[in-house]
Amino acid sequence: MSARPLRVVGRPVPRVDGLEKVTGRARYVTDLVLPGMAHARVMRSPYAHARVRRVDVTRARALTGVLAALSGAELTWCEPYYGPAYRDRPVLAIDVARYEGEPVAAVAAVDEATADAALDLIEVDYEPLPPVITLEEALAAGAPLVHTGKPQAGIFADLSTLRPEPGTNICHQFHFARGDSAGALASADLVLDDTYRFPPVQHYAMEPHAAVAVWSETDGLTIWASSQNPYSVRVELAKMFDVPLARIRVVVPHLGGGFGSKTYAKLEPLAAALARAAGRPVRLAASVAEAFQTVRRCAARVHVRVGFRRDGLLVAVECDADYDVGAYADIGPRVVQKATYTATGPYRVPHVELAARAVYTNTTPGGAFRGFGVPQLAWALESLVDAAADRLGRDPVELRRQNFLAHGEEFAPGDTPIDGKLEESLSRAAEAIGWTRASAADRGRGVAAMLKASVAPSVSEAIVRLHTDGSVSVLASAVEMGQGTRTVLAQIAAEVLCVPLARVTVVQPDTAVTPYDQTTSSSRSTTMTGRAVQVASEDVREQLLRITAEALGVATRDLTLDEGAVVAPARRLPYAEVLLLRFGMSGGELIGRGVIAPGRTAAPLGGSTPFWEMAVGAAEVSVDEETGAVRVERYVSVADVGRAVNPLLLEGQDEGGVVQGLGHTLLEEMLYADGHLLNGTLLLYRVPRADDAPPALECHFVENADGSGPFGAKGAGEGSLIPVSPAVANALARLTGVRLRDLPLTPERVWRALRARR
């Protein structure tokens, strides 16, 4: 079969789900209505830390229209704890409430008004306990403990080496080293040593968390959930309720954004428990304020030491990072170790000493968030690289270029070699921002680079069905949450099978129908799930060729596919005719299967990264010295994507990532006082608006088809967010001479720093 030019892949085709979304026909979890469905409400702790002496739901249960009222102490009929790293999070608080907003009791009633009224009838007796809100408080000698016992390990094998420190609030520690960092720093010509802080921030997906659960004697548990990884949720629920996996079905309708907030179980355990207690379907939907009390990004304090030779060669990096994972571990331990492993960024560093701790505090649990812990570390390292350039009298672009890892170079023994060209990305960003044009304005420009590993080991499966009319169904469990996965998977199948894109349907994730996929996160869907779809489509293609070759008595190499037909030297057979040859009737279908499972390796974290995500950011800023307000006038993002399956979708991903990155750079921070979250609503918590976006925002892509995904693609979407903070801060430092170390760069912080400079 001869090669042919790409027809669909690489083109900016419109989203396959675009029309139903812009017309309002798309259905989300909260649009689902089941017969007899009850509505749930949750009573939450008003204290950051308190002993729960008594929860009395008797009066609430007696209220007309209430179908179920639960407290944590009553959940003796199931395993009441869950969590991917530790099973430390109770469905409802048991004995102790560990953060303000933790669910303490819940009701399900015939309507929302009745459920609200029932909450007012629940009696709770609290004994307030001293909380630890900051990392400093949690790590202080004799600090109150968020957890006093050792929780059970969670569901992930790669976290089987969890290392808590008994008697402290440290729930996990990670260490990685090579070479002799102490010796290298001692002999370095320049050593910089500093601490950077990254704030707790909320994902603010437009659709808050929601779940609808129903139990059936014949079918078990079915739950419609706003989840990024239905298969992980299924595992959690199976363990909690002692039900075989085959009797738990997790369905994911349209998802209104996630950014990591909807990874792993969140509301699903409570919705399922209420549905069983009520004997009815139950809908549990969080408000925006409740989303602030469900999950956030882990705050961090990062202490980094870097050593350079006089000629600019980077010889050593030492990093000590503390991540605030909140009241429950969630996936925090994996965030900590996965991010810290790449704390040296995109640079060649012979001597490395990296250590990190995941620390409990009495705040909203911290979990996955776009970038998975890397933004916290890149903020520190990329700021120090710029500071080193200033001390060495070197251009920051050239200093980075000198120390970049090269294409094909080893990052760590056993891991995937570098599969991109960082220098090309940096050069394109510098050129686009005007770095090479010497002028006084260049002092208001800054750059930053990043390197991020994807989750490993990792598994994705896909099934492709070719129907008798030549249309195609793609079955895969990657979740469409606004990033364009359904469109990309459809493009891949259409490309391989040579059918119009409109003839391909991508089935939404349903664990009873679509095959296993580990997670929709870590920028892995195009690379892993997309590759599985490609393999499954190639399976169908080979069946088409084999059937036709046998029927016509020709070699498969003499056949090609074109516009829904197999083309032989003297005949053209539409797919419908090929299936008729195979089955002898207008029935049956060809089914292909794709499985991508690289497995465990000798890499330091147990699995080689499927690909490296790489991006460079360049910013141009202005500052009002009277108010301290920083304005990003221009931003250029360059991502190494291997191949852009859909450039239009990628551009949207990168633009969104940049603006989201500007949020924690300039605006966003969850503020606590006396254990209370002060700004847990959108009236008080400021996310970027359209007018906060840079007037000039450019997104470029490096395409060398060197990725492990379909047609040489690599993952993208997280990378564009990561360099934003250091690029903006580096530009600010070049413009004003002021180097800030705490995010966000609020007008007050900048104004105070400017006054101190004077």
Based on the fold, state whether residues 313 and 226 are members of the same structural domain. no
> Using CA atoms, how far apart are residues 383 and 345, in angstroms rounded to an integer?
12
Question: pLDDT at position 443, please?
Answer: 75
The answer, yes or no, to whether residue 323 has pLDDT greater than 80, is: yes
Q: Which helix (H) or strand (E) element contains residue 567? A: strand 565-568
The answer, yes or no, to whether residue 2 has pLDDT greater than 60, is: no
Mean of the per-residue pLDDT values of the chain: 96
> Using CA atoms, how far apart are residues 557 and 549, in angstroms rounded to an integer?
9
433 φ/ψ sector (left φ>0, alpha ψ -120 to 50, else beta): alpha
Least confident piece of the model among 157-171, 179-193, 206-220: 157-171
The reply to whether 523 falls in a domain is yes
Two structure tokens written together for 710: 């379909």
> Using CA atoms, how far apart are residues 243 and 472, in angstroms rounded to an integer?
34
CATH of the domain at 390: 3.30.365.10
Question: pLDDT at position 161, please?
Answer: 76
Based on the fold, state whether residues 627 and 578 are members of the same structural domain. no
Confidence of residue 96 (pLDDT cuts 50, 70, 90): very high
Instruction: Provide the terminal-to-terminal Cα distance of the chain, rounded to the nearest Å.
Output: 72
The reply to whether 163 falls in a domain is no
Based on the fold, state whether residues 544 and 671 are members of the same structural domain. no
Based on the fold, state whether residues 475 and 536 are members of the same structural domain. yes
Question: Higher pLDDT residue, 520 or 1?
Answer: 520
Residue type present at position 749: R
Q: What is the pLDDT of residues 426-482, one digit of tens each?
A: 999 999 999 975 444 467 999 999 999 999 999 999 999 999 999 999 999 999 999
The answer, yes or no, to whether residue 163 has pLDDT greater than 90, is: no
Based on the fold, state whether residues 698 and 622 are members of the same structural domain. yes
The reply to whether 664 falls in a domain is yes
Q: What is the pLDDT of residues 120-151, one digit of tens each?
A: 999 999 999 999 999 999 999 999 999 998 87
> Using CA atoms, how far apart are residues 137 and 508, in angstroms rounded to an integer?
45
The reply to whether 148 falls in a domain is no
Based on the fold, state whether residues 473 and 591 are members of the same structural domain. yes
The answer, yes or no, to whether residue 1 has pLDDT greater than 60, is: no
The reply to whether 173 falls in a domain is no
Question: pLDDT at position 440, please?
Answer: 41
Degrees (nearest 5) of the Cα angle 646, 647, 652? 105
The reply to whether 183 falls in a domain is no
**Percent of the chain having pLDDT more than 70?**
98
Provide the 3-class DSSP secondary structure of residue 434.
coil
**CA-CA distances (angstroms) from residue 740 to 215, 388, 442, 728, 730?**
54, 15, 19, 11, 9
Question: pLDDT at position 154, please?
Answer: 77
- Give residues with Cβ within 8 angstroms of 575, minimum separation 6: 466, 470, 499, 544, 564, 565, 566
Last residue of a domain, one of 266, 292, 318: 292
Based on the fold, state whether residues 309 and 327 are members of the same structural domain. yes
Q: What is the pLDDT of residues 716-743, one digit of tens each?
A: 999 999 999 999 999 999 999 999 999 9
Instruction: Give the torsion sign (CA, 731, 733, 735, 738).
Output: positive
> Using CA atoms, how far apart are residues 594 and 676, in angstroms rounded to an integer?
49
Last residue of a domain, one of 543, 562, 596: 596
Q: What is the pLDDT of residues 97-120, one digit of tens each?
A: 999 999 999 999 999 999 999 999
The reply to whether 714 falls in a domain is yes
The reply to whether 11 falls in a domain is no
**Percent of the chain having pLDDT more than 90?**
95
Q: Is 302 exposed, middle or buried (0-12, 13-18, 19+ CB in 10 A)?
A: buried
Q: Is 216 exposed, middle or buried (0-12, 13-18, 19+ CB in 10 A)?
A: exposed
Based on the fold, state whether residues 512 and 533 are members of the same structural domain. yes
pTM of the model: 0.96
> Using CA atoms, how far apart are residues 346 and 409, in angstroms rounded to an integer?
11
CATH of the domain at 72: 3.90.1170.50
- Give residues with Cβ within 8 angstroms of 108, minimum separation 6: 38, 39, 40, 66, 67, 68, 69, 115, 274, 275, 277, 278, 280, 282
Based on the fold, state whether residues 625 and 705 are members of the same structural domain. yes
Based on the fold, state whether residues 384 and 520 are members of the same structural domain. no
> Using CA atoms, how far apart are residues 245 and 221, in angstroms rounded to an integer?
10
Last residue of a domain, one of 576, 596, 616: 596
Structural domain harbouring 487: 18-26+458-596
Instruction: Give the torsion sign (CA, 221, 227, 231, 233).
Output: negative
Question: pLDDT at position 441, please?
Answer: 47
Question: Within 10 A of 122 (CB to CB), how many other CB atoms are there?
Answer: 20
- Give residues with Cβ within 8 angstroms of 533, minimum separation 6: 462, 464, 474, 476, 489, 492, 493, 594, 710
Based on the fold, state whether residues 561 and 646 are members of the same structural domain. no
- Mean of pLDDT values over 265-293: 98
Number of domains in the chain: 3
Based on the fold, state whether residues 219 and 300 are members of the same structural domain. no
